[in-house]
A = this chain, B = another copy of it.
Amino acid sequence: MQQVKGEKAAGLSKQLAQYSLELTYDSLPAEVVEFTKLCILDYFGSAIAGSEKVPVRMIAELAEEMGGAQQAHAVTGGKTSVLNAALVNGAASHVVELDDIHKGSIIHAATVVIPAALAIAEWKQLSGKELIAAVVAGYEVCFRIGEAVSPSHYYFWHNTATCGTFGSAAAAGKLLGLNEEQMVSALGNAGTQAAGLWEFIEDGAMTKQLHTAKASMNGVLAALLAQKGFTGPQKILEGDRGFFKAMSDAYDESRITDGLGEQNKIMENSFKIHASCRHTHHAVDLLTEIFKDRRPSIEDIESVSVESYQVALNITDDPDPQTEYAAKFSLQFCSALALLTGSAGLADFNEEVLWNEDIRALTKKVKVTTAPAIDASYPRQWGAAVEVVFKNGETIRKETDFPKGDPENAVTAEELRSKFIGMTFKYPAQKREELADAILQLETVPEIGQVMAAL
């Protein structure tokens, strides 16, 4: 989209609205279509795995109690209103901490944007192609807004929730066929609903799931109202009493407009392969490689050391984790697990593995330190080096600049399919494969409801 002077002067919401409405499936490069389907596959893996977790069950029960028209499927089962579906499906995909992440905007877009798009697409009997285009637009809108307000916004606010609300509205609004004026109102009324404070982290409260649930629902609500002619603020982002000034200490408007319509920022999205904290993934990647080569037992290993950046140690230096959740945030535990088992997936974190004698013994042996060179490249690179000394005197050293799943160290479609199959264990094997097939051929699906009904 070439910018002419008059367009540049237009409000940011108007430019985002124009971009969102002009984007078509046919204009997307093939690689963007392929990648977007992987984002959607990855959404479903996390959502299906999360659908039986306690906070998600509570939100699903509430939605059931409230009732609603049979418009769209919830991943927890059955059909409900599109608002309820966005609420439940928005809660579901974030809870197992395996959903996608965009480094530049610090947003997990899938869990907010995709439930909104799915709900409207199913309700309005739209196609896989229409869904794909809407997801690309929703990611673009929220990534740009997140980049514009990062990092200051992130101190108080959960970007995935606040900025995600705009992405939900853009995706839902595009599928509803809003005109430009309506889309500006939808973005305005999305932004005025944007909420989600980090305070819950202090207590480990369930609030994180409420944030993503509500962000998805609120964006859909803004779009549905806009379709009825409900007006909203025209300059919710840059206005004097708008989102930027109220909710960030510093912001960069150019991040909204530079290259808008020329890029597909969804391609910058990262996937998580391991079920642990992202700051452990570099070491897990490297130690898994060593496992594959050597399949060592505890008796073979003299010492293990991991070097990384300081932030990784701030968050994950824990030689003695006491819970399954804490184990995911222990660099020592995750390193031992990877070196002895070759994996750190969803099924690898449980009480049995947590107290396995060999893994415990090796966890105590893992030394973690900050390496100045690695630290200097953070956060552009989330790197690590590992060194394993074997009892036979041999030493293996490996280094990485990017954890697997970053665009610079991309996972293959096959790996993401394996992740999906591993995460959907609540279904029989054949159903998992069929579901993966259907999602990976989404552009051939005439009605999204066909995929949702198979859940």
A→B interface (CB under 8 Å) = 55, 58-59, 61-62, 65-69, 71, 81-84, 155-157, 185, 188-189, 191-203, 205-207, 210-211, 214, 218, 221, 224-225, 228-236, 239-243, 245-247
Contact = CB atoms under 8 A, between A and B. Distances in A.
B61 A200 contact: no
A189 B205 CA distance: 9
A202 B235 contact: yes
Which of A59, A68, A211: most chain B CB closer than 10 A?
A68
Nearest to A69: B67
A241 B82 CA distance: 32
B210 A157 contact: no
Contact of A68 (B81, B221, B229): B81
5 contacts: A61-B228, A188-B205, A202-B233, A203-B233, A203-B234
A-B residue pairs, 7 tightest by C-beta: A67-B69, A156-B246, A198-B241, A66-B81, A199-B242, A195-B195, A200-B233
Nearest to A229: B58
B195 A62 contact: no
Contacts of A155: 241
A59 B221 CA distance: 10
Main secondary structure of the interface of A (DSSP, over half): helix
Most-contacted residue by chain B among A193, A211, A234 (CB, 10 A): A193
Contact of A205 (B157, B214, B224, B231): B231
B205 A185 contact: yes
A96 to B, nearest CB: 17
Nearest to A198: B241
B188 A192 contact: no
Given A81-B67, A83-B66, A225-B58, A231 B246 contact: no
Contacts of A228: 58, 61-62
A348 to B, nearest CB: 26
B234 A202 contact: yes
A74 to B, nearest CB: 14
Contacts of A197: 191-192, 233, 236, 241-243, 246
A84 to B, nearest CB: 8
Nearest to A238: B199
A156 B196 CA distance: 16
A299 to B, nearest CB: 43
Contacts of A195: 192-195
Contacts of A69: 65-67
A233 B210 contact: no
Contacts of A225: 58-59, 62, 210
B81 A241 contact: no
A68 B62 CA distance: 12
Contacts of A68: 66-68, 81
